[in-house]
């Protein structure tokens, strides 16, 4: 059963000022990874045969390739199997499926098991290595991702207000998956002592948004509204999670439609424009992913362009770029002044 953790020091009187309550206990950094099916995790680990293009473009294939094996060498454990970490943990509550929770490794994708992964794998290694280097304690990744969900309707933030879709149907605000996302993050924060050994509380450290397909296929309504809706999402997430200034990384929509058609270009421009806004210039970063797209014939799922063809290198590189952007963004932010 989830346990709400609210360990705080009692306020101490220091004449003549009443000091604010200071949190105590070992903390862990908590990163939220949000989006739709690409964030759910579609990269193939080791499946092969005719259904998977002979295993081309899988994580196992990367490991066998002398030119690319060094890229993923840190994912292999001393026993030759896939490594898990004891300082980075993942919580992923899939829709209508059992909760996935435990130490970072293979398997925190929508399918469960050991045959798929998402950007959380390399993202977790990057932010985990950063936390270890600075002695800031363990890390928890909270995945809030569901396939086929738009920002215009499903993730619609409260401050975007209601709208009408292309069929003339009302679109309420907040959207149901915005509400579910916030609820799951709160549940995860409350469950930190159960998930992360030795940690007594969680501190929100960053929010990652990798998304776009379902809005891109609605160029009349969703694409023109994407920039406004994403800006509202960032403000509302910060407000509803009581995390003003929370670092946010926006991953560019990836896929085989890198330079066409026009709606995808407009959507990508909208994603970048949010990070360029003055209000977000010091706390939000846009990460380009188009260079990570691999050819369908070199991938395990050649017909799944909307899932980056299931290519493991693509998902690895996306996770790496998102993680590095988050580390750099956090390092660039001014430190909070210490209380007297």
Q: Which domains does the chain have, with CATH numbers?
A: 22-309 (3.40.50.1110)
Whether the predicted pLDDT of 6 surpasses 50: no
Radius of gyration for the alpha carbons in the chain, expressed in angstroms and rounded: 20
Whether the predicted pLDDT of 238 surpasses 80: yes
For 9-61, what is each residue's pLDDT tens digit?
333 333 333 344 455 678 999 999 999 999 999 999 999 999 999 999 999 99
pLDDT at 264: 87
Whether the predicted pLDDT of 90 surpasses 80: yes
Residue 73: pLDDT band with limits 50, 70, 90: very high
For 104-138, what is each residue's pLDDT tens digit?
999 999 999 999 999 999 999 999 999 999 999 99
pLDDT at 46: 98
For 198-232, what is each residue's pLDDT tens digit?
999 999 999 999 999 999 989 999 999 999 999 99
Which has the closest alpha carbon to 306: 164, 195, 211?
211
For 258-294, what is each residue's pLDDT tens digit?
666 788 899 999 999 999 999 999 999 999 998 999 9
Which has the closest alpha carbon to 55: 298, 317, 313?
298
Mean pLDDT within 158-167:
94
Question: Which pair of structure tokens corresponds to residue 300?
Answer: 């395990």
Mean pLDDT within 292-318:
96
pLDDT at 4: 35
17 or 169: which leads in pLDDT: 169
Whether the predicted pLDDT of 2 surpasses 90: no
306 or 191: which leads in pLDDT: 191
Three-class secondary structure of residue 102 per DSSP? strand
d(CA 134, CA 199): 17
Residue 233: pLDDT band with limits 50, 70, 90: very high
Question: Which pair of structure tokens corresponds to residue 165?
Answer: 């879709």
Whether the predicted pLDDT of 320 surpasses 70: yes
pLDDT at 3: 36
The C-alpha torsion from 234 through 240 and 246 to 251, rounded to 10°, is -40
d(CA 229, CA 270): 10
The model's pTM: 0.91
pLDDT at 11: 33
Question: Which pair of structure tokens corresponds to residue 262?
Answer: 């026009």
> What's the chain's average pLDDT?
90
pLDDT at 23: 57
Whether the predicted pLDDT of 335 surpasses 60: no
- Residues near 172 by Cβ (< 8 Å), separated by ≥ 6? 156, 162
Whether the predicted pLDDT of 85 surpasses 50: yes
Whether the predicted pLDDT of 71 surpasses 50: yes
Place of tokens 């009408």: 164
């Amino acid at each position: 059963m989830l346990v709400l953790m609210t360990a705080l020091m009692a306020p101490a009187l220091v004449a003549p000022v009443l000091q604010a309550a200071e949190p105590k206990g070992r903390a862990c950094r908590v990163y939220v990874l949000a989006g739709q099916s690409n964030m759910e995790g579609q990269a193939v680990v080791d499946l092969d045969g005719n259904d998977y293009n002979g295993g081309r473009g899988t994580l196992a294939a990367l490991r066998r390739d002398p030119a690319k094996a060094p890229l993923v060498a840190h994912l292999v454990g001393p026993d030759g199997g896939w490594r898990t970490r004891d300082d980075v943990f993942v919580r992923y509550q899939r829709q209508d499926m059992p909760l996935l929770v435990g130490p970072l490794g293979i398997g925190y994708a929508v399918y469960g098991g050991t045959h798929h992964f998402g950007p959380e794998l390399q993202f977790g290694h990057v932010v985990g290595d950063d936390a270890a280097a600075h002695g800031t304690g363990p890390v928890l990744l909270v995945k809030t991702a569901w396939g086929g969900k738009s920002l215009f309707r499903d993730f619609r933030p409260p401050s975007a207000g209601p709208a009408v879709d292309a069929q003339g149907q009302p679109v309420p605000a907040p959207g149901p998956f915005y509400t579910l996302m916030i609820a799951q993050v709160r549940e995860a924060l409350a469950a930190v002592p159960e998930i992360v050994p030795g940690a007594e509380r969680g501190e929100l450290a960053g929010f990652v948004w990798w998304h776009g397909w379902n809005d891109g296929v609605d160029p009349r309504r969703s694409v023109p509204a994407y920039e406004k809706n994403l800006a509202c999402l960032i403000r509302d997430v910060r407000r509803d999670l009581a995390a003003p200034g929370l670092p946010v990384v926006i991953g560019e929509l990836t896929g085989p439609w890198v330079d066409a058609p026009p709606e995808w270009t407009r959507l990508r421009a909208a994603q970048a424009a949010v990070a360029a806004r003055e209000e977000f210039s010091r706390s939000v970063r846009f990460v380009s992913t188009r260079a990570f797209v691999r050819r369908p014939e070199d991938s395990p799922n050649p017909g799944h362009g909307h899932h980056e063809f299931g290519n493991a290198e693509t998902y690895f590189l996306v996770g790496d770029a998102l993680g590095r952007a988050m580390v750099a963004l956090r390092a660039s932010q001014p430190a909070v002044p210490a209380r007297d």
